[in-house]
Structure 1
Amino acid sequence: MENDYNDKVSRVLNLYQRFMDGEVINKNIEAERLGVSSRTIQRDIGAIRNFLDEEVGKSGVVNSIIYDEKLDGHRLEQIYKMKLSNSEILAICKILLDSRAFTKSEMTGILDRLIECCVPKTSQQLVEKLISNEEFHYVELTHKSEIMDKMWDIGQAIYQSRYLEMDYRRTKDGAVVKRKVKPVAIMFSEYYFYLTAFIDDEAVRADFDVINDAFPTIYRIDRIEDYHVLEEHFKIPYGDRFKEGEFRKRVQFMYGGKLQKVKFKYKGSSVEAVLDRLPTAKILDKGDGVYTISAEVFGKGIDMWLRSQGDMVEVIE
C-alpha cells in the first residue's frame, strides 16, 4: 500500500514538473511507459488541476491543464494573472496616497481591499510595510467630504444620459446655487474630482464668462452639497459627444473658459516638463537654449500656469 502511494506521488510530481517545463503529455503513451492504466494518468492530471486551483489565491496566477487536440495531449496553460505584481500594487498605492483624493477612512479602506484582493498572500505583509508610514501620516483634504457614493450616482446619470439637479457651493463667493445640468464626464485633477456638464438654462449661462454650448462647465464634486438624478433624459448627437481625452489634453487646473491658442518662449532647464504639462504643445523653434512653443488650451488655467513659471516663460501671444 505504501509503495502504491509513493508511486502515485512520484508520478504526480513528475507530471507536474514536466507540465511546468512546457511538455505535452499524451496520457496513453504515459500510461504505457509507466505500466498503469490511462485512467490512472487521467486521475493524476486531475490531482494537478485541483492543486493549481488551490494555488490561485496564493500566487494570483490562474493556471490550468488543458487538452490540446492539435498536439494530441495535455499541457499547462496560464489563463491570466488575477493578482498584481509587487511593483504594480506599490505604484498604485503610492499614486493613491499622493492624490489625497479621499478622506482618511476611505483611503484606508481602499488600500486594505487592494492589498487583500490584488496581492498574493506571500507579499501582502511586505507591501503593507512599504506604505505603512505614508498611510499613517496621510493628510486628508480640508473639505473632508466622502464622495465615492456621490461619484457613482453621477456616473450612472452620465451613463444613462439623465439630467442632474444639484445645489452647488461656488468657489468665488461661497454661495449655494441651483443648477440643472447634462452631466457628461467625471475627471480628476490636482487633488479633486470634477464633474463636467452642459447647462441649458440661458439665464444662468448669461452670467458666465463664456457663452458657448461647445464648452462644458466644471464643478468640483465635493462642492455638490445636494443632488438628484432626474428621470428626464437628454440627448447629445454622436458627432457632438464630449471627448474626455481631447478635453484632458487642453485643460489646466480644471478652470473653465474658451478654447484658445497660446504661444510662448521657454528658457527653463526641462522642456520635457512643459510638454508633459501641455500635451498639445509643439516646439516651433529652438535656439540658444530657448524654445518657442505653441499649445491649444481650454480655459483660464493656462494663465495661472504661465505666471507660475516666472522668468522661465515669456508669453508671445
Structure 2
Amino acid sequence: MRALLVVNPAATTTSARTRDVLIHALASEMKLEAVTTEYRGHARDLGRQAAESNDIDLVVALGGDGTVNEVVNGLLHAGPDPEHLPGLAVVPGGSTNVFARALDLPNHPVEATGALLDALREGRERTVGLGLTSGTPGTDDEGVPPRWFTFNAGLGFDAGVVGRVEQHRERGRKSTHALYMRQVVRQLIGEPHRLHGVITLEQPGEEPVRDLALSIVSNASPWTFLGNRPIYASPKASFDTGLDLFGLKRLSASALARYGTQLLTSSPERGPRGRHVTARHDLTQFTLHSKVPLPLQMDGDHLGLRTSVTFTGVRRALRVIV
C-alpha cells in the first residue's frame, strides 16, 4: 500500500517528536510519503494531487478538523467516487477533533495511529456521507464554489464565534475551550439579531421556517465537544443519513439559559427542545437565506459572509479507515 501523510505542523496537540514517532510507525507498515503543509489550502492541494494520482491508496491527515476538511475537499474536487478514490485516515492533532471522535477513533494521536494500523491489517473501513454547500441560484452567492464538510456547518451565531477564535489564533493565541467560551459570550453581547432572527429555512415541499437567530447543520453526532463532554445539538445526525438542522428563534438571556443548559446535558437520546427550537432530521437538500450577510463556518473554518447557502446531504461519499 502506498500512502500520503499530510502533516499540519501547527497541530495543537502534537509535538515535532511525536510526529516523528507517528511517521516512523506508519512507514513501517506501508510505503509512505510525508508532506508538511506550508500554507492555508495546502492540504486541499495535496488531497487533489492524491485523487488525480494512479498509485496512492490512502491519504492520512495528521492535524485537526481544518486539516481533515481541506484533505476531503481535495480528494472530492471532482465529486465522490469511493470505489476509485484513495481512502481517508485521520490521526487527530487538533484541540477538538470532532470528525475523528464522531467516528469513535481515539483522541490521542499515538493511540489513533495504533488503531489505524490495526484497522488496515484487519481491513476495517466504512463509507460515510458528507455535507456539501453551494451558492444558491438567483442570489448574490450563486457563483460561490461548492465546498464539502465532514461533521457540521453553521450560518450566523456559531460562525461568528469561530471567526472571533480565528482572529485570536492569528495573533498567536492557542485554541482552547476556554477561548471558545469567552468568544461565545462576546459574540452574544455584540449579536444584533439575537431577539429577531433573520434566517429562513426553505426545503422542497415544506413551508418556510422564518426568523431563525441560530442555525446549525450537522452531518454527525455529537455536534461538538466541550473538553471530553460531547454536545448533542442534533442527536439523530449520522454519517449514514442526510443532514440535520438545529435552529433557535431567540437568543435572549432566558432562552440561552434554557437551551444552553439543555445542550450541556444533552445525550444521544435527547437534544434541546422547546417552542423556540426548530429541528429537522435526514434532509437531502435545503437552503438557508438571510436578510443580511452572516458569517458561515464549516468544520470550524470561518468562510466569510453569505446571504444564501444551499446544503446537500451526499450519502456514501468517502471511504474512511476506522
TM range (shorter): under 0.3
Mark the structure with the bigger radius of gyration.
1
Q: TM-score, length-normalised on structure 1?
A: 0.23
| Structure in which a larger fraction of residues adopt helix | 1
**Bigger RCO (CA 8 Å, 6+ sep):** 2
Question: Greater share of strand residues, 1 or 2?
Answer: 2
Q: TM-score, normalised by structure 2?
A: 0.22
